[in-house]
């Protein structure tokens, strides 16, 4: 579960997040939409405690995230848009990177763990030997997700996980994020611009604009929202022709 209460964040004098309240129940998938530069990544960084918010409370899986940033990060897997794989390491070494840094006791052999998480993301153990340069964009994403879930997180954060992927690969990654939430009970928070993706993956959609959350509801509520900025993105994402005015 993720609970965000009265969260505000300023970079210098600029108020980027303005009194945000958002709850994501255990095992549910919530998506944050909103314009570029609107503070979505900043919100994920506050939740993952890469940033200390100016104000507010955050609880992650019962833990006070403001007081315990280290503990919070241990409960969490993150897939950031730019979070590239290490090009000089094999897939296996990439997957084990976080595990080797964080885990103190070894419950399982590394080989078994790698095979298990690769299977979780739809890859065979053979993929472990490959170098990142040998992987397609979709496979790279899967390996990034495998690296994050190897720590068996309670919460997963994904920042624009399908930006730049083709529609078929996008579908596969969408299905994977939802499957991990459903089968492993991972509470999931995704930032995305892709309306068709968002409507099919989300239990809950939040819309961030001008630093405020102006919508928080189901996909059905989102589609029928009368809020102009929400209507605009739904209409434009579905538009099949232009209205040329000049």
Ligand X SMILES: Nc1ncnc2c1ncn2[C@@H]1O[C@H](COP(=O)(O)OP(=O)(O)O)[C@@H](O)[C@H]1O
Contact set with ligand X (CB under 6 A): 11, 16, 34, 36-42
Residues 9 and 66: beta-carbon distance below 8 Å: no
Residue number with CB closer to ligand X (32 or 114): 32
Residue number with CB closer to Mg ion (58 or 190): 190
> Which uninterrupted H or E stretch holds 237?
helix 228-238
The C-alpha atoms of residue 96 and residue 120 are separated, in whole angstroms, by: 15
Residue number with CB closer to Mg ion (82 or 226): 82
Judged by beta carbon distances under 5 to 8 A according to partner kind, the member of ligand X, Mg ion, none in contact with residue 154 is: none
Q: Give me the least distance between CB of 19 and ligand X, in Å please.
A: 16
Interface with Mg ion: number of residues (CB under 5 A): 1
Q: Give me the least distance between CB of 212 and Mg ion, in Å please.
A: 17
* Sequence-distant (≥ 6) Cβ neighbours of residue 83 within 8 angstroms: 144
Residue number with CB closer to ligand X (16 or 118): 16
**Measured over all CA atoms, what is the biggest interatomic distance in the chain, rounded to whole angstroms?**
67
Q: Give me the least distance between CB of 244 and ligand X, in Å please.
A: 29
> Residue 157: helix, strand or coil by DSSP?
strand
Q: Does 48 engage in binding with Mg ion (CB under 5 A)?
A: no
Judged by beta carbon distances under 5 to 8 A according to partner kind, the member of Mg ion, ligand X, none in contact with residue 38 is: ligand X
The C-alpha atoms of residue 94 and residue 147 are separated, in whole angstroms, by: 7
Residue number with CB closer to Mg ion (118 or 165): 165
Check residue 48 and give left, alpha or beta (phi > 0: left; psi -120 to 50: alpha): alpha
Judged by beta carbon distances under 5 to 8 A according to partner kind, the member of ligand X, Mg ion, none in contact with residue 42 is: ligand X
Q: Give me the least distance between CB of 159 and Mg ion, in Å please.
A: 6
> Residue 98: helix, strand or coil by DSSP?
helix
Residue number with CB closer to Mg ion (41 or 162): 41
- Residue nearest to Mg ion as judged by C-beta position: 41
> Residue 33: phi, psi to the nearest 5?
-110, 170
| Tokens 């939802």, located at residue | 178
Judged by beta carbon distances under 5 to 8 A according to partner kind, the member of Mg ion, ligand X, none in contact with residue 16 is: ligand X
The C-alpha atoms of residue 172 and residue 29 are separated, in whole angstroms, by: 16
Q: Give me the least distance between CB of 37 and Mg ion, in Å please.
A: 8
Among 2, 16, 32, 41, which residue sits at the site for Mg ion (rule: CB under 5 A)? 41
| Tokens 């503990």, located at residue | 71
Q: Give me the least distance between CB of 245 and ligand X, in Å please.
A: 29
| Tokens 């993720």, located at residue | 2
Positions that interact with Mg ion (CB under 5 A): 41
């Amino acid at each position: 579960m993720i609970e965000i209460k009265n969260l505000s964040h300023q970079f210098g004098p600029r108020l980027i997040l303005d009194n945000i309240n958002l709850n994501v129940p255990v095992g549910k998938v919530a998506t944050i939409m909103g314009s570029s530069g609107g503070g979505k990544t900043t919100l994920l960084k506050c939740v993952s405690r890469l940033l200390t918010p100016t104000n507010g409370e955050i609880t992650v899986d019962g833990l006070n995230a403001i007081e315990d940033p280290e503990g919070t990060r241990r409960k969490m897997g993150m897939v950031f848009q730019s979070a590239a794989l290490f090009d000089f390491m094999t897939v296996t070494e990439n997957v084990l990177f976080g595990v080797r840094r964080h885990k103190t006791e070894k419950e399982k052999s590394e080989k078994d763990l790698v095979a298990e998480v690769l299977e979780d993301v739809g890859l065979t153990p053979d993929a472990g030997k490959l170098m990142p340069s040998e992987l397609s964009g979709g496979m790279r994403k899967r390996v990034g997700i495998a690296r994050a879930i190897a720590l068996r997180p309670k919460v997963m954060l994904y920042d624009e996980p399908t930006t730049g992927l083709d529609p078929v690969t996008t579908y596969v990654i969408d299905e994977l994020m939802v499957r991990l939430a459903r089968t492993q009970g991972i509470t999931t928070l995704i930032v995305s611009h892709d309306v068709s993706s968002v409507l099919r993956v989300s239990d809950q959609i939040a819309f961030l604009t001008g630093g405020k959350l102006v919508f928080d509801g189901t996909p059905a509520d989102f589609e029928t929202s009368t809020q102009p900025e929400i209507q605009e993105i739904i209409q434009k994402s579905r538009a099949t022709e232009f209205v040329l005015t000049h």
